[in-house]
Chains A and B, each alone.
Chain A
Amino acid sequence: MPSRELRGDGRRRWLRRALVVPYAWLLLFFLAPFLIIFKISFADPLVALPPFTPLFDWAASGWERFQVTLDNYLFLFQDRYYGVIYLSSIKTAAISTFLCLLIGYPMAYYIARQPPRRRNLLLLGVILPFWISFLLRVYAWIGLLNTNGVINNVLLSIGLIDEPLSLIYNDFAVYVGIVYSYLPFMILPLYANLERLDITLLEAAADLGAKRWRAFVDVTLPLSVPGIIAGSLLVFIPAIGEFIIPALLGGSDTLMIGRALWDEFFINRDWPVASAVSVVLLLILVLPMMWFQKVQGQEVEDRR
């Protein structure tokens, strides 16, 4: 009979071999593209296709063909436009995350306190919109928010307003769109956290004479911090680079980095600057991403 070690090895050997394919796939289609984007961010723009100078010309020998420039990054720092856009994207994402938390926390709390049967139904209600096309859900808001859309028509017909409000093609609509689209991402981790919360702690607090509100602030809220962090990062990270929502609901003055990047790429066709914009965006996102991975890692450890 093979020893435990050998047996494990037998299984692992074929898994190791099979792993080569997805591993190579990720190296080629995930890692290599980043090296290229990094490389192009140091290249000179050219009016050609591809519109950038080759950083390494493989046919030429020697270093004289090696062209590298920091112009694209200097441009980003000197041009105030980009500084403003980065800051405004971070601001938009932060406010949206806070609004999601404001709506999502009571909802998750409410669901977690229901009897199990109803809990599943309510959860399904949160998950269902997530499966319906993101694009179509954003689109649905155009019909609601339009100058002659559903909301304005209702408000006009009940006489609450005399002329249509401008609800769309501005920052307000972008907030509505982001909060709406990412709300399930906030509710689900919060629910997972609140559901596991030890109810006896709350009872103990109550027994010791704590008011409900006090018990919430002193016991529930601190214990749900991991859920708050996970949910907030799941909203904040994608919201910063969001493109579809500002493109469909935002105004021409809505400054979001995803949209600026799209324009730099498709309209200005300045690929090196677009690459530099991407690299800086990634640098901004590295910290929240690492934080998220740490939180996720702890989650897995906790469950074991």
Chain B
Amino acid sequence: MKRRGTFLLTVAAFGYAFLYVPIVSVVVYSFNESRLVTLWGGFSLRWYKALLENEEILDAALLSLQIAVVSASVATVFGTLAGLALHRIGRFKGRTLLTGMITSPLVMPEIITGISLLFLFITLTDWIGWPGNRGAMTITIAHITFAMAYVAVVVRSRLTGSDESLEEAAMDLGGRPLRVFFDITVPMIAPAMISGWLLAFTLSLDDVVIASFVSGPGATTLPMLIFSKVKLGVTPDINALATVIIVLVSLGVITAAMITRKKQL
């Protein structure tokens, strides 16, 4: 029994090391004075300074944040409605189609989503002159489409096993449907909506492939910019940028974990 315990512990330790060594190494090398990523030239913040002065990166980051906020918000509304409908309306026309359309984006290769949406935008522009130039708007539309699937899944799993009696009681007391929805249903599924929003936000901030297809000249998101830079190898300023993102995300995830834990207690 003891031997087995050691075996599991060893594999687990190796697994966690595997997960974290790359992340830690990026953080460490972001403080490297040397331009050569391989040699340690002493501690320095010069790459962070370079980052702050790099307008190309800052512009891309701003654009990405805007797209992420808008697409995550719309996706949360749409995804919640779809999740609610699939859970609460037993049978309706086109239910199977909706189920298929809302779950397929989860397993669809990004590259196909990207190509097919680009074809759609070109065809639409051909027919009705919209959306015309591709850029922030077409990226936002693409992100809403795949992110709402994730939101719907999160909301549906929250609704599974939820108690409908509160809503029914409110209806019995004469509550109007919309009122009941905002006073009772929304607070009940709020945690799922928040995690859905965060998931959608993260996915949008992280997407290279779909954005590369549906974007046009002039609209370069942060991941697109990073991708074009790192194709040529490691650069110290991207190390600094990565460290900033890693620290922000870690803080966010740990805070969220602590909040949910407190609530459980």
Contact = CB atoms under 8 A, between A and B. Distances in A.
Interface of A: 1, 7, 10-16, 18-19, 21-23, 25-34, 36-37, 40, 50, 58, 103-104, 106-107, 109-111, 113, 120, 122, 124-129, 131-137, 139-144, 146, 148-150, 153, 180, 183, 212-213, 237-238, 240-244, 247-248, 258, 261-262, 265, 271, 274-275, 278, 281-282, 285, 289, 292-293, 296, 300, 303-304
A281 B115 contact: no
6 contacts: A22-B79, A26-B148, A34-B116, A139-B238, A140-B22, A275-B119
Q: Which of A31, A125, A140 has the most CB of B within 10 A?
A: A140
Interface of B: 1, 4, 7-9, 11-12, 14-16, 18-23, 25-26, 29, 36-38, 77-79, 81-82, 84-85, 88-89, 92, 94, 97-98, 101-105, 107, 109-113, 115-117, 119-120, 122-123, 126-127, 141-142, 144-145, 148, 156-157, 160-161, 167-168, 171-172, 177-178, 180-181, 202, 205-206, 208-209, 213, 223, 226-227, 230-231, 233-234, 238-239, 242, 245-246, 249-250, 252-254, 257, 261
Main secondary structure of the interface of A (DSSP, over half): helix
B208 A21 contact: no
A125 B126 CA distance: 49
Contacts of B145: 25-26, 29-30
Contacts of A293: 103
B82 A132 contact: no
B109 A37 contact: no
A142 B233 CA distance: 7
A21 B110 contact: no
A113 B181 CA distance: 41
Contacts of B126: 50
A-B complex: 6 closest residue pairs judged by Cβ atoms: A241-B109, A33-B116, A140-B22, A22-B78, A106-B11, A110-B12
Nearest to A147: B38
Nearest to B3: A212
A22 B79 CA distance: 8
Nearest to A146: B234
Contacts of A21: 78, 81
Given A106-B7, A107-B11, A293-B103, A135 B112 contact: no
Contacts of A135: 206, 208, 223, 226-227, 230
Given A36-B116, A139-B242, A261-B115, A304 B161 contact: yes
B45 to A, nearest CB: 19
B15 A14 contact: no
Given A14-B177, A23-B98, A50-B126, 11 more contacts: A29-B144, A30-B105, A36-B116, A104-B15, A125-B19, A135-B226, A136-B242, A140-B23, A258-B109, A275-B119, A289-B107
A25 B143 CA distance: 12
Given A10-B177, A26-B98, A180-B18, A289 B226 contact: no
A29 B117 contact: yes
Contact of A136 (B1, B8, B92, B245): B245
Given A146-B38, A281-B109, A281-B112, A22 B148 contact: yes
Contacts of A238: 107, 109
A231 B147 CA distance: 21
Contacts of B144: 25, 29
B171 A126 contact: no
A36 B20 contact: no
A230 B16 CA distance: 22
Contacts of B7: 106
Contact of B21 (A103, A144, A278): A144
A143 B234 CA distance: 6
A18 B80 CA distance: 11
B211 to A, nearest CB: 11
